[in-house]
């Protein structure tokens, strides 16, 4: 059975080349551990913009097919997810997410559904706003490596379509491509090529037909050895980011990143990320 990715995961292999393994502008420490009862615990501390942001996330399965997740941040915001999967029907996932901001007293909830089967993957979400929920639906189909998908969002309070995105892609062996058309005005293309077992490259192109603005990004990842990975990305403005990830210990991974404007050789920024899996 070939199950296509969700709409948000279309082009994920290319997006990961640009987004994973970089820590510019922050110094971060994250710890992941799991108890003998199968409960995952993950505290995170991040220094960003001269401030400390911390969070603590835990998840566990009280019964087969049920997952409970809880996340609490230093801003006194809690997020709780109750997930039921493959209980009502095989491939069907239900997720009730409740967010409470104790500082402001603001509360919110979102009901999420997802269904996946051979050649199809779809989602339907609705925020539980009494004034008028916003509905968000996605669908992705795949056949012989060709993927097609759509995402729409509708604000029932304003009776207005707030999101309209179409996508088409192709995946085969070491190559993948996906193109997006957003609100009939923004065009985005993502290309990924796995050159060999150790090296992969990706490129993205964005064009807005209303402003004629165009942007380009190129990224690469190379596995130097069993403990070290090198990453690089550059965009059309010359902003260049280099990163190295090294497994210091089997349970500790460190990432060091530096960024500079290649056109002016200034604007230097850096970041350090430590991730421990205990």
Q: Which residues contact 22 (CB under 8 A, 6 or more apart)?
A: 231, 233, 241, 243, 255, 257, 271
Its domain, for residue 190, covers: 7-277
> Is residue 271 over pLDDT 80?
yes
Task: Give me the pLDDT at residue 234, please.
Answer: 96
Cα separation of 139 and 117, whole Å? 12
Give 164-170's long-range contacts (Cβ < 8 A, gap of 24+). Answer: 165/7, 167/7, 167/10, 167/140, 169/10, 169/11, 170/145, 170/146
Kindly state whether residue 254 falls inside one of the protein's structural domains. yes
Kindly state whether residue 137 falls inside one of the protein's structural domains. yes
Kindly state whether residue 1 falls inside one of the protein's structural domains. no
Kindly state whether residue 167 falls inside one of the protein's structural domains. yes
Residue 39 is given by DSSP the state -
Count up the domains in the chain and report the number.
Answer: 1
Q: What's the rounded mean pLDDT across residues 199-221? A: 96
Instruction: Say if CB 136 and CB 115 are below 8 A apart.
Output: no
Biggest CA-to-CA distance, the chain: 58
Cα separation of 189 and 206, whole Å? 7
Task: Give me the pLDDT at residue 117, please.
Answer: 95
Kindly state whether residue 265 falls inside one of the protein's structural domains. yes
Radius of gyration of the chain (CA): 21
Kindly state whether residue 2 falls inside one of the protein's structural domains. no
Task: Give me the pLDDT at residue 1, please.
Answer: 65
Cα separation of 74 and 101, whole Å? 11
Q: What's the rounded mean pLDDT across residues 260-273? A: 88
19-28 residue pLDDT tens = 999 989 889 9
The enclosing domain of 252 has a CATH number of 2.40.160.10
> Is residue 264 over pLDDT 90?
no
Q: What's the rounded mean pLDDT across residues 206-213? A: 93
Cβ-in-10-Å burial (0-12, 13-18, 19+) of 180 comes to buried
Kindly state whether residue 87 falls inside one of the protein's structural domains. yes
Greater model confidence, 266 or 1: 266
Kindly state whether residue 20 falls inside one of the protein's structural domains. yes
Split at pLDDT 50, 70, 90, the class of 125 is very high
> Is residue 217 over pLDDT 90?
yes
224-237 residue pLDDT tens = 999 999 999 999 99
Rounded alpha-carbon distances, angstroms, from residue 269 to 123, 236, 258:
39, 18, 6
Instruction: Say if CB 135 and CB 153 are below 8 A apart.
Output: yes
> Is residue 51 over pLDDT 90?
no
């Amino acid at each position: 059975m070939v199950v296509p990715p969700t709409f948000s995961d279309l082009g994920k292999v290319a997006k990961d080349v640009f987004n994973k393994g970089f820590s510019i502008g922050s110094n971060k420490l994250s710890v992941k551990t799991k108890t003998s009862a199968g409960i995952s615990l993950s505290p995170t501390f991040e220094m960003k913009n001269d401030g400390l942001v911390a969070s603590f996330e835990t998840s566990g399965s009280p019964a087969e097919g049920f997952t409970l997740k809880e996340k609490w941040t230093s801003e006194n915001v809690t997020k709780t997810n109750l997930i039921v999967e493959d209980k009502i029907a095989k491939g069907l996932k239900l997720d009730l997410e409740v967010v409470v901001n104790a500082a402001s007293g603001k509360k919110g909830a979102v009901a999420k559904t997802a269904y996946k089967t051979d050649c199809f993957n779809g989602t339907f979400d609705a925020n539980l706003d009494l004034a008028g929920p916003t509905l968000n639906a996605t669908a992705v189909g795949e056949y012989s490596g060709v993927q097609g998908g759509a995402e729409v969002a509708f604000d029932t309070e304003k009776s207005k379509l707030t999101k309209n995105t179409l996508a088409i892609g192709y995946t085969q062996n070491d190559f993948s491509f996906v193109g997006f058309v957003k609100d009939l005005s923004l065009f985005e293309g993502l290309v990924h090529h796995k050159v060999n077992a150790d090296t992969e490259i990706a490129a993205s192109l964005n064009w807005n037909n209303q402003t004629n603005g165009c942007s380009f990004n190129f990224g690469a990842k190379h596995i130097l050895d069993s403990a070290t990975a090198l990453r690089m990305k550059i965009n059309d403005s010359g902003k260049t980011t280099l990163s190295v990830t090294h497994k210091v210990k089997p349970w500790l991974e460190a990432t060091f990143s530096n960024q500079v404007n290649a056109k002016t050789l200034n604007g230097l920024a850096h970041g350090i990320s430590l991730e421990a899996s205990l």
